[in-house]
Amino acid sequence: MLKYLLEKEFKQFFRNKALPKMAVIMPFMAILIFPLVANFEIKNINLAIVDNDKSSTSRAMVQKIAAGGYFSISQVADTHNEAMIDIELNKSDIILEIPANLERDIQRDGTAKVLVSANAVSATKGGLGSAYLAGIVGDFNREINSDILTMSELTMSEQFTITPRFWYNPRLLYTYFMVPALMVMVLAMVCGFLPALNIVGEKESGTIEQINVTPVSKLNFILSKLLPYWIIGFVVLTISFLAAWVAYGLTPAGSLATIYLFAALFVLAFSGFGLVISNYATTLQQAMFMMFFFVLTFIFMSGLYTPVANMPQWAQNLSIISPLKYIIVVLRQVYLKGSTFSDLLTPFWMLSGFAILFNGWAVLSYRKKS
Amino acid sequence: MEGLTSVCKKSFSKSIVVKELAKNNGKVSFEVERGEIFGVIGPDGAGKTTLFRVLTTLLLPDSGEAKVEGYDIVKDYREIRKIVGYMPGRFSLYQDLTVEENLRIFATLFNTTIEENYHLIKDIYCHLEPFKKRKAGALSGGMKQKLALSCALIHKPEVLFLDEPTTGIDPVSRKELWEMLGRLKREGITIVVSTPYMDEASLCDRIALMQDGKFLMCDTPRAIIDSFDKNLFSVKGENMGVLLEGLRGADGVLSCFAFGDSLHITTEKDNVIFQSVTADSLKTYLEKTGLEGVEVTKTEPSVEDCFMELLSK
Amino acid sequence: MRVIEVENLTKRFGSFTAVDNISFSVERGEIFGFLGANGAGKTTAMKMLCGLLRPTSGKGVVAGFDINRDSEKIKAAIGYMSQKFALYEDLKVWENIRLYAGIYGVPEKEATERSHRLLEELGLEKERESLVKSLPLGWRQKLAFSVSIFHRPSIVFLDEPTGGVDPVTRRQFWEMIYKAAAGGITIFVTTHYMDEAEYCNRVSIMVDGRIEALDSPALLKKEFGAVNMDDVFRKLARRSNNGLL
Amino acid sequence: MRAFRVFVQKEFYHILRDRWTTIILLALPILMIILFGFGITTEIRNTKFAVYDPAGDFTTRGIINKLESSEYFTLERYLSSPDQIEQLFREGKTGFAVVFSDEQILLVADGTDPNTASILTNYATALINSYLEESAVRQAGGGAATNVAGDPPVAAATAAARRTITPEIRLLYNPSLKSAYNIVPGIMGMILMLICAMMTSVSIAREKELGTMEVLLVSPMKPFLIILSKIVPYFTISVINYITILILSVYVLKVPIAGSLILLSGLSLLFIMVSLLLGILISSLVEKQIVALLISGMLLMMPAVFLSGLMFPIESMPEVLQWLSHILPVKWFIIAVRNVMIKGLGFSSIIKEVAILTGMAAVILAVSIKKFKFRLE
């Protein structure tokens, strides 16, 4: 019985113009384009210089800042206001204003001030930009005092060289962070939403009554809708692995089997979720919107972009409802850190819990008799 | 004043004039008088719906031209759309709006109100009155079709195109609809209607029989029936199934189809075997071939007989 | 041998009684006409018999199964075809046959063999590979009917199978119905074509949810002194109280 | 125009009768403000860290206290050996580990999340540096400082000659560095476009799919009015959402409206018009709802989220994508809203963006009129 239903679903899937294309395009678009776009790295911040001192010290300082690589000098202005106009037009992000006779003040009473005004509309850019600038000025201080610094003070700061070391991703490539999570996103779309949209489509066009009249059982009907998308989902997942390997040379550190196991569990849970939506939505529009609503919540509660730890406490507590969170943790841990099954027990229980909850709810809420 | 202007405006009597109108390998030419009920019948896929869509300016013809109330269907489509009423084959309503709301929307669509033209649809709409507040989606198939009809007839167009308006409607309501169409006709409205029901076709002033985009015949029901060039007999017996097989096998019998409680068979007009082609000579012939208790009478062909005869050619 | 037995079957939607306490039975191999005006409760009653709708009250046995308790079993033993949808339009002709044969448990080998023969009978071998969407309505209905009796059910429910079909194809359809009935399949059919009502062995006419007349066409005509079934139908219409006719 | 009024009423019925969709349409801004406002924060807060400190002298303890006292980090545990770090990172709970050796301070961070890793190490390095700076000055300042084990006393004279340039940092427009400032304009752009473009295109496509469009075309009513009547409800919902977003950002996210409200509202109305026209354009190219949903979903929403600088700075994107983002109306709208709402600037600062948006509106209008099918072809 199920065999014939599956045959029908596959034939209809490949005959429908839009769906097969979407199932193929999505993984590639997600894996290849998305990581290029989604990174927070702050580089080439535009710096406007207002040098009222024009002394050798001030020129040396500007030299050091420009050489730092983080900043590119976008403008040399005469007055603060002139530079402010560029800030307003988003041409430059930070203004470094060097007061007149800076060199004389340093020689005479040892201290001088420079004014840094940073456009902080983007908090990260404003915050990090000014922090980097302050860091470079700090180094410059050490340089201009190198002639008179005592051995101990030098050794004190030299004594402790601080070197960051990044495990699993030494070159801090953003793609390593995003790609595993994106694979999950694609899986969620293909196995979670396509079947649900399919069912709602049949409900809206009325062809669902054809099946209700036949001895096809509830379970067989749902399975005939889910299985094709599960198979397609895992094919898409494998394609994503290959794409990640080819494009970024990214291969899973942990065992592939663990990934496939958790992916299966996640697919079971998420397609159950899709089914629940399909039972409540009567029109395609409704289904689409409900999904959009919940996907948005799940994504942002899952730490896909920024870690859950950053979020305020109430948000962190709320984030346990997102199945995406656990599978993303799994994918990242196994893929990048090579964690094994034993390290990932909590996600395992949570995902199994979700699978039972959603699928149970789906079967209960599925009303075959109108 | 209104009466006067409308008279002189409509000096010419032809409401629709079609010359060599071609659309995906079909071609037709015909004319429809003002205030005439013009029936279009034909098997599914004969091109009836396409013809309707071209005449109501929804589709552009491949070639040829047509005028509705003097307006050209390609150039003056805006004028035509002001004076034409159209009910498509798959007239869908707004399922999430109530019966009354659907009606009001279509009334306003045609710049009128339910109250103003209620008398036009009273006979059909009265069945829907008890469900006024119910959503259109919750109605049964036939009821939906009745609501669609009311929505299409809620305004008084000069020309009305109805594409299979009565499919799925019970016989009594169909009768009422045709009485309403008769009233509209008396008020000078030209009606072009397609229908699968042959009994309805015979109520039209003229009928066009369409197949593969062409008119096989286009004439009054009377003329069509007169053109029937075969003998027609109605045969009754106990076991219809056996009788049907037997008659099909009998030589001289051209065709045999069930017609309600009897079978209609056709024989050649000048057939050698049946010189004196009478009902009882046929009866004795049949009994000889072992079909007892057979009752044979000569009958007048109906439009349906002519339709089936023409199609089988 | 009775294949359908119904006792005071009722269905209420809130305050509206769609089917009001109907009782009747249908013999094996009979062509049973189920007539009624729009909104008289025909489709609702039929849905209850097919296990698509749970009755508010009353009992019924279809193909030996109780309609309240084991509606799933009924579905395996009957065929169903409605005017709106019977086949999947985006599947090819043979794919539809194969699907429904599979669903109703016809063994694969037998299914492929018989589907060839069926297509020959219907003259559809050429259309074997074309999508159902491309078939004219008449052919689609004939194919749908053959598919609905492919698993040789004891009863087949036909909901206005010939709506909008041209006269010639309609008659071919009824010849197929005759053949199926002769083969022992009970035909439960609704229609608005009064000439088709004449083809049935017995006819029931519903008015406002109740069965107002149930007999053979000939006896009904005698009882109502009518020339044909159209007259019978119209005479019954006068009994309707809330102007439903 | 009575017919127009009744049709607008019909469109409202379509939406209001569909309870779920209405709730979601109005709740979306609230959800997005909360999610984006709190979901995406790059601010580091109480990240756990571990320490491996065999020597455990005064300085290392000082460093650890300095880290612990800051609101960024909380000490989780002391490690008996560096190889324990492997297990810590596997479980994914600790942010980074500080490993002291006689010459070096090693900051071991979990590189899987590069962004957090670099921010953590930057903040930690800055804190440690400032601790070392302070302890050096304290030592240089006066003999009383406790003697650091093994270090010779520092001569007093160096303090006097020590020259420092101290940067005085002023953060413009967003002194408290709240990430929400950057998000509100993005949300506004996304929601207004989603509601206008997607909903309009889907509702017109729905009318075609159901077959009712065929009847509407053959009527005295101008097709243009039918489309216009479809726009009104979504225009209203967008205006309501616009107001909700403003209220939420001011009172919940505490992002004040620096510039003129009238200018901001005018700007938003312009953008709503552009999105509505986009919706009409899509609907005239499409026959089925699902295709309209896919096009507005895939081609409008996804790029809008990524290319519009809502979450990721556009500057750090590859050149070709930056060029691609030029064609998105939402990108210009977000820049303009940032200038007016966050930076509080006047009309002069958004002339370019307004010009582009108006230009786009004109082009889309022209194309959709040309493309509009008043027949069933």
Do A146 and A229 reside in the same domain of the chain?
no
Sign for the pseudo-dihedral over CA of A282, A356, A354, A263: negative
Per-residue model confidence as pLDDT tens digits over A289-301: 888 888 878 887 8
CA distance B159 to chain D (A): 12
Q: CA-to-CA distance for C24 and C9, rounded, in angstroms? A: 10
Clarify whether residues B57 and B155 are in a common domain. yes
Fill in the DSSP letter of residue D153.
P
The boundaries of the domain holding residue A181 are 2-38+173-365
The domain in which residue B300 lies consists of: 229-312
- Decide: D and C in contact? Rule: 3+ Cβ pairs under 8 Å: no
User: How do residues D3-18 score in pLDDT, each as one tens digit?
Assistant: 899 999 999 998 888 8
Pairing of strands A161-167, B84-87: unpaired
**Which residue, A159, A182, A200, sits at the end of a domain?**
A159
Residue C194 has pLDDT above 80, yes or no: yes
Same domain for B233 and B221: no
Q: Do residues A232 and A252 share a domain?
A: yes
Chosen from C38, C140, C194, C212 to mutate, greatest number of chain B CBs within 10 A: C38
Instruction: Kindly state whether residue A147 falls inside one of the protein's structural domains.
Output: yes
- Looking at the fold, whether A94 and A231 belong to one and the same domain comes out as no
Q: Which of B262, B263, B260 is nearest to C195 (CA)?
A: B260
Q: Does C86 touch chain A (CB under 8 A)?
A: yes
pLDDT digits (tens, 9 = 90+) for B42-88: 887 888 999 999 999 999 999 999 999 999 999 999 999 988 988 88
pLDDT along chain B (313 residues), means of 10: 42 83 90 93 87 93 93 92 86 86 91 88 85 86 84 87 88 86 89 91 92 90 89 82 78 82 81 57 73 80 88 77
Question: Does the domain made of D47-161 have the CATH classification 3.40.120.10?
Answer: no
- In this predicted model, which residue has the larger pLDDT, D1 or C7? C7
Q: Are residues A34 and A76 in the same domain?
A: no
Domain count along chain B: 2
Residue D145 has a pLDDT of 38
Per-residue pLDDT tens digits for D14-41: 888 888 888 988 998 888 888 877 776 6
In this predicted structure, what is the pLDDT of residue A39?
Answer: 64
In single-letter form, the type of residue at position D139 comes to Q
- H or E element in which residue B46 lies: none
* Pairwise CB contact (< 8 Å): A289 & D113: no
Find the distance separating the first CA and the last CA of chain C, reported in whole Å: 35
Asked if the model's pLDDT at residue C245 lies above 60, the reply is: no
Q: Using a CB-CB distance cutoff of 8 angstroms, which residues of chain D are in contact with residue B93? A: 212
Mutate to test the interface with A, among D169, D195, D287, D338 (most CBs of A within 10 A): D169
Do B143 and B34 share a domain, yes or no?
A: yes
Same domain, B307 and B184: no
Question: For C6-51, what is each residue's pLDDT tens digit?
Answer: 999 999 988 889 999 999 999 999 999 999 888 888 889 998 999 8
CB contact (8 A) between residue B105 and residue D216? no
Residue A295 lies in a domain: yes
Q: Among candidates D368, D326, D337, which has minimal Cα distance to D231?
A: D368
pLDDT computed for residue D139 by the predictor = 64
Is the domain of A60 the same as that of A204?
no
Domain boundary at B225, B256, B288, which?
A: B225
Worst-scoring range by mean pLDDT, B252-266, D87-101, D307-321, D333-347?
A: D307-321
Chain B contact present for D217, CB below 8 A = yes
Please indicate, yes or no, if residue A370 is contained in any of the structural domains: no
Is the overall model pTM greater than 0.90, yes or no?
A: no
C175 touching B, CB under 8 A?
yes
The ipTM value here is: 0.81
Sketch the domain layout of chain C as residue ranges.
2-237
pLDDT at A38: 66
Whether residue B291 is found in the same domain as residue B262: yes
CA dihedral for D306, D309, D314, D319, sign (positive or negative): positive
Nearest-angstrom CA–CA distance, D330 and B117: 49
Q: Nearest by CB to C38, which of B173, B260, B261?
A: B173
- Judge contact between A361 and A276, C-beta under 8 A: yes
Give residue limits of the domains in chain D: 2-40+178-371, 47-161
The two structure tokens encoding residue D306: 């990524």
Confidence of residue D128 (pLDDT cuts 50, 70, 90): confident
Question: Count of alpha carbons within 13 Å of A201, Cβ hemisphere only?
Answer: 17
- What three-state secondary structure class fits C159? strand
Sheet containing strand B63-68, edge to edge, reads B26-33, B14-23, B63-68, B71-72
CA distance A111 to chain D (A): 5
What's the number of CA atoms in the CB half-sphere (13 Å) around residue B183?
12
B67 with B151, same domain: the answer is yes
Task: Indicate whether A208 and A108 sit together in one domain.
Answer: no
- Contact residues on chain D for B110, CB-CB shorter than 8 A: 219-220
In a domain, B209, yes or no: yes
Dihedral angle sign, alpha carbons of residues A279, A282, A287, A293: negative
Residues 6+ apart with CB under 8 A from D26: D237, D240, D241, D244
What's the confidence (pLDDT) of residue D258? Answer: 87
What is the Cα C176 distance to its own chain's centre? 13
CA dihedral C216, C221, C227, C231 (to 10 degrees): -100
Interface mutation target, options A14, A211, A213, A217, chain C, most CBs of C under 10 Å? A213
Q: How far is D90 from chain A (nearest CA, A)?
A: 6
Whether the CB of D14 is below 8 Å from some CB of chain A: the reply is no
Q: Which of C72, C82, C99 sits opposite A4 (nearest CB)?
A: C99
* Residue ranges of chain A with per-residue pLDDT less than 70: 38-42, 146-160, 367-370
Same structural domain for residues A109 and A185? Answer: no
B80 and B122 in contact (C-beta within 8 Å)? no
Q: Give the list of residues 6+ apart from residue C70 with CB closer than 8 angstroms, or none.
A: none
For the segment(s) C2-237, the CATH number from 1.10.3720.10, 3.20.20.70, 3.40.50.1260, 3.40.50.300 is 3.40.50.300
Average pLDDT on C130-159 reads 90
